[in-house]
Chain A
């Protein structure tokens, strides 16, 4: 299967020679088209750094990251912005919606900065609003919405540009369990029906159990990897918990 993302021996160091921190230490993996990958790790394991370098917010110290065979570690300036704008979709823990704009306008912004005309924008928003079940909040401002609604609006903004890769950083971090479940079911829907490729960082085993593959990282290295295969979500969840237990106390907050 065609791979969308290929991470090739990347390293990320912080600090100077006297006190060097290896946030990512020689990591490699691939994500195929249509996959829903969760990356799990304790705080400080390097999962946020990993997401940052993939999303081009941060630069790697060495190694390469290919998105559809294009080396994104070489991109700079406006080409970088263009890449972010057209190839990636972001979902953040704290939603990152603009408080001065309505839900509709927040979603529209992702398209309008690509110079897509207004009627096309409206058409696409109606479709995506249906898929994410947010039709009735489109006219509301972020402060009028619940956390789950905000995150679904943010998800809508992330996928409306038809990105090759959707990056989600602890998307359920600020949500209650009911909203989390609803959001993750929407993610599954996006993944199955729209064939969206999703890379999600989380430290929550329940959240990770919605993915088709889970990568565990520890101290900046890949520690383990499990595929869901034909397991039910419950079975997959148990498997994840097993690994978490194996990891020892490091991922206690996952339980």
Chain B
């Protein structure tokens, strides 16, 4: 009973130190529950079968991410509890001198962990239960599911999973605690504080050198992911990451010494008010926390990138669907397959069937498009052996090839009649074009390809096609597309005057149409009927389809997937890093209390003390964030390049959203830390 009583009293007494730890545990439990409960939250929803599949995929991915998250949280909890133990060395020293056995002290810690663990689990699960109701609204909103009746759902599987995961973490904490108590020596416990009083000052000259080295390394890593992006392939993608990590560490290693040196050399600034005190406080803290600062900075960097990229992706996906899938269905058929050996890999039946276009082959199956389609267009795409991407680039091929190594320069170009394209454009509501007999133009919407193609177009490259020589009408690609899609994937279609093409080189026949239906429900019905007709012998006829509903669902699903994973990881990382900082700051509160008492005695007024405390904590919180933000600028440039197909015009709002998350969570932790510290240094009368 005695250890239990002692631990209860300890928790009550050091609640100020524990508050943030406690708060973080509760948040961790709640978030873990919320993201694992999505599965159960969506069971009640009225969604299509394919959406159900996507949700299933999402929940299984989220539970995979949960394992990773549990590692992060486990690390955080062990780290935090070791940290709190260190601060209580003296207390344990007193216990030992009183003749208490180490076993008993371990017992006290065991009880404390048990108490904290149990309470945080209960409170966290309760909070998680409440939050998950909001989550189900978010999920419903995202999947466009109508929540006919709102019901409170408690996920027992998620609850049990949370309890199991956190119990394991707490058990690990107990083991670590027991080990660290077993290893410690009484003399160190009693005089542990004295040791840390030594101010280790790094050689400022060395700091300056290390600082510049780290800046150079960092600059090179930044260069690799932005300007040198093209030469970055899967093999050396880790190079800039490793360089970034190393330089971040070196930067923090040298920063405290550097700043101290700079500010100290400016005597006016240094000997003004409490500046010397604040600077010393920060530098001594940063000296001892280089490693954690690095971790925190990197976690913040990942948070910013993951959150903004995933939100961008989600927003872009949704915006894209409306723009890039403006018709209900697109049926494409491979036509005009040549006999072997010209083209291999097709059955005789397929070759025979390929003589028919989309409409004819549907007719063969007694499907008349007029029954289903309100408006439709019938267009063709042509390929010719002698006209490849390399040919379009003309004289610039060599120099472009050097810069972009991974493009397929021998792939055949898609060619369309200008009149066909205009039919499609009219249906989509896009801009129509006209060409003179010796002109051509290119429509595209995939930014990287546009960049490449524009080089050639600017150079006025002539093309030779079907025996005609054509000059570009425009000095740049025009925006446009033909295929329904969720993303900007049109790498370029060459539009030529109608009389240029040879009908014999037709390769694809396409019918793009809108359904004869007004409501969403009806459209789904029409689609199901058509697809039933098309699907049964798809392999024989080589008939493919893209539908707006499919695209919509896939992109909503993908959007939801990345959003949830992004949110999950982002929030956990954010909480972890902010909690470590807050704990570091607060655990030194007893030292700080002494220091501020001294300052008060020599006459520093409250305002000065508070501003000094505020600046001290603010700078401590700002440093890792600042560097993380600089990292993120380059990280985001890199990620927008990778995610280009999805479009990146939505980056700003998502950065804004990320900033809100940062301000709320990180800023929240900062404020709590500040107010707790202020409370601790308050003069007691």
Contacts and interface: CB of A to CB of B under 8 A. Distances in A.
Given A98-B598, A109-B276, A81 B199 contact: no
B277 A118 contact: no
The residue in B267, B270, B605 that gathers the most chain A C-beta atoms within 10 A of its C-beta is B605
A85 B267 contact: no
B604 interface: yes
B604 A85 contact: yes
A88 interface: yes
A90 B608 CA distance: 19
A113 B603 contact: yes
Nearest to B603: A85
Q: Main SS of the interface on chain B?
A: helix
Interface string A92-108: 10001111110001001
Given A84-B601, A99-B199, A157-B602, A112 B268 contact: no
Contact of B280 (A55, A78, A83, A101): A101
B595 interface: yes
Contacts of A84: 601-603
B199 A115 contact: no
Given A78-B605, A84-B601, A84-B603, A105 B197 contact: no
B601 A96 contact: yes
A81 B604 contact: yes
B266 to A, nearest CB: 9
A101 B276 contact: yes
B199 A143 contact: yes
Contact of B277 (A58, A78, A100): A100
Nearest to B285: A100
Given A112-B271, A118-B270, A98 B603 contact: no
Contact of B274 (A99, A112, A157): A112
A82 B284 contact: no
A105 B606 contact: no
Interface in B185-243: 197-199
B604 A113 contact: yes
A198 to B, nearest CB: 17
Nearest to B601: A90
Contacts of B284: 100
A46 B415 CA distance: 102
A122 B264 CA distance: 13
B475 interface: no
A72 to B, nearest CB: 13
B598 A118 contact: no
Given A118-B270, A143-B199, A101 B607 contact: no
Interface in A99-133: 99-101, 105, 108-113, 115, 117-119, 121-122
The residue in B199, B595, B600, B608 that gathers the most chain A C-beta atoms within 10 A of its C-beta is B199
Interface string A44-87: 00000000000101100000000000000000011001111110
A157 B276 CA distance: 15
A81 B599 CA distance: 10
A107 to B, nearest CB: 10
A92 B606 CA distance: 21
Contacts of A88: 603
Contacts of A105: 276-277, 280
A112 B542 CA distance: 84
B197 A99 contact: yes
A121 B276 CA distance: 13
Nearest to B272: A112
A121 B601 contact: no
Contacts of B280: 98, 100-101, 105
Contacts of B270: 118
A237 interface: no
Interface in A25-60: 55, 57-58
B118 interface: no
Contacts of B607: 78
B350 interface: no
Nearest to A119: B267
A77 B602 CA distance: 14
A110 B281 CA distance: 17
Contacts of B598: 96-98
B650 interface: no
B603 A109 contact: no
Nearest to B607: A78
Contacts of B602: 84-85, 90, 109-110, 113, 157
Contacts of B604: 81, 85, 113
A78 B276 contact: no
B275 interface: yes
B653 interface: no
B598 to A, nearest CB: 4
Interface string A118-155: 11011000000000000000000111000000000000
Contacts of B429: none
Contacts of A115: 272-273
A78 B276 CA distance: 22
Nearest to A84: B603
Contacts of A57: 601
A113 B595 contact: no
A116 to B, nearest CB: 8
B261 to A, nearest CB: 14
Nearest to B275: A112
A100 B281 contact: yes
B342 to A, nearest CB: 83
B277 A109 contact: yes
A86 to B, nearest CB: 7
Nearest to A83: B603
Contacts of B268: 117-118
B321 to A, nearest CB: 58
Contacts of B601: 55, 57, 84, 90, 92, 96
Interface string B588-612: 0000000100111111111110000
Nearest to A90: B601
A58 B273 CA distance: 25
B605 A112 contact: no
A221 B603 CA distance: 29
Interface string B278-318: 00110010000000000000000000000000000000000
A143 B606 contact: no
A123 B491 CA distance: 74
12 contacts: A58-B685, A81-B605, A92-B601, A100-B277, A101-B277, A109-B276, A109-B602, A110-B603, A112-B275, A122-B267, A143-B197, A143-B198
Given A100-B277, A112-B273, 14 more contacts: A58-B685, A84-B601, A84-B603, A92-B601, A96-B598, A98-B280, A99-B197, A100-B284, A105-B280, A108-B276, A109-B276, A112-B271, A112-B272, A117-B271
The 5 A-B pairs at the shortest CB distance, nearest first, are namely A85-B603, A81-B605, A118-B267, A84-B603, A100-B280
